[in-house]
Amino acid sequence: GAASAMIAAADGSFPETHASTARQWDRQIVEAKLAMAPFSDRLGSLVKSDVEGDLTGPRSRGSHSLTSVPRTPEQAWGCHAEYLSGTASWEQWNLEQQVRNSREFKELGVDNFRTKAARALRDDAFGRKSICFLHEASRYRGKANYRDAIYLAYGKAVPKLADGFIDDLTTVLTGFSAMAAGYCSVRMGRERWKTFMEDLEEGRAISFSPLAVWS
């Protein structure tokens, strides 16, 4: 919702799918350098050499494995870089499967990407795909909803690993929401934003006040 609000504030449009929202938010907000760190990190393409180049910045902030809980800001930045890298690998695999099923690939009569022609098809697909925070969030949502949730109610070790998980999600959401609100307030203008906030506060049906984050 916050990303869609930023897009609507930018050009008045409202993408109808998660994929189109991610593409448009990346192009209009992140690529235009209107997003704040860490939400501003992106990969301009999935061509392997480009990915390594784009990861130089995120990796320079810290290094840490995703298999252990980060304890310092540097380790947290390292996990951030690792997840961005992992999302790139995941998207590369998905695109490779799409290329394998394409008519152009089948006409080559090969079953891998060892030939120059096959690599050209793959890299063309890689070059048209970028990665931003919303792609990472979508991947994480899939993990949480359809895989990890299965194991949360069984065993004694897993719940301990989830300690602080909800608090961490709240921190990320608060940061992203505050960034989105800041952008939208500038696009809307002070008076319109003030009217919007007053109406939202007056009509809200939940205990949490957006003013706590957006003021």
Same domain for 113 and 138, yes or no, is no
The residues facing 131 across adjacent strands are: 43
Query: Both 35 and 139 in a single domain?
Result: yes
The whole-angstrom separation of Cα 38 and Cα 58 is 9
The number of folded domains in the chain is 2
Q: Is residue 168 part of a domain?
A: no
Residue among 129, 117, 124 nearest 88 (CA): 129
182 and 125 in a single domain? The answer is: no
Q: Are the beta carbons of 105 and 95 closer than 8 angstroms?
A: no
Dist CA 183 CA 167 (whole Å): 25
Residues of the chain with pLDDT > 90, as a percent, come to 76
Task: Let me know whether 112 and 72 are in one domain.
Answer: yes
Instruction: Dig out the tokens for 21 from the structure.
Output: 């929202």
| 68 and 34 in a common domain | no
Tell me: do 21 and 93 sit in the same domain.
no
Overall average pLDDT of the 173-188 stretch? 94
Of 74, 102, 130, the residue at which a domain comes to its end is: 130
Mean pLDDT of 134-147: 85
**Domain end point (choices 97, 130, 163):** 130
Asked if omega into 38 is within 30° of 0 (cis), the reply is yes
pLDDT at 156 over 90: no
Is 64 within a domain? yes
Considering the domain architecture, whether residues 119 and 144 belong to the same structural domain is answered as no
The reply to whether 109 and 70 lie within a common domain is yes
**Residue 160: inside a domain, yes or no?**
no
Q: Tell whether the model's pLDDT for residue 157 goes beyond 70.
A: no
Of 65-69, 87-91, 168-172, which one has max mean pLDDT?
Answer: 87-91
Backbone angles phi, psi at 43, to 5 degrees: -115, 120
131 phi and psi angles, rounded to 5 deg: -130, 130
- Quick one: 184 and 124 in the same domain? no
Task: Report the residue count for the chain.
Answer: 215
Q: Are residues 38 and 141 in the same domain?
A: yes
Residue 139: inside a domain, yes or no?
yes
Q: Please report the pLDDT score of residue 160 as a whole number.
A: 65
Pairwise CA distance, residues 78 & 83, whole Å:
9
Kindly state whether residue 94 falls inside one of the protein's structural domains: yes
In this predicted structure, what is the pLDDT of residue 114?
Answer: 96
In a domain, 158, yes or no: no
For residue 24, being part of any structural domain is answered with: yes
Please tell me whether residues 81 and 182 are part of one structural domain: no
Q: Which domain holds residue 57?
A: 46-130
| Residue 178 backbone dihedrals phi, psi, to 5 degrees | -65, -40
Residue 4: name the closest of 15, 120, 38, 199 by CA. Answer: 15
Let me know if residue 163 belongs to a domain: no
The rounded distance, in Å, linking the Cα atoms of 185 and 34 is: 13
**1 pLDDT more than 90:** no
Written as one letter, the residue type at 118 is A
Asked whether residue 117 falls in the same domain as residue 57, the answer is: yes
CA gap 173, 202 in Å, rounded:
23
pLDDT in tens, 11-65: 999 999 999 999 999 999 999 999 999 999 999 999 999 999 999 999 999 999 9
Q: Which of 61-65, 106-110, 113-117, 164-168 has the lowest mean pLDDT?
A: 164-168
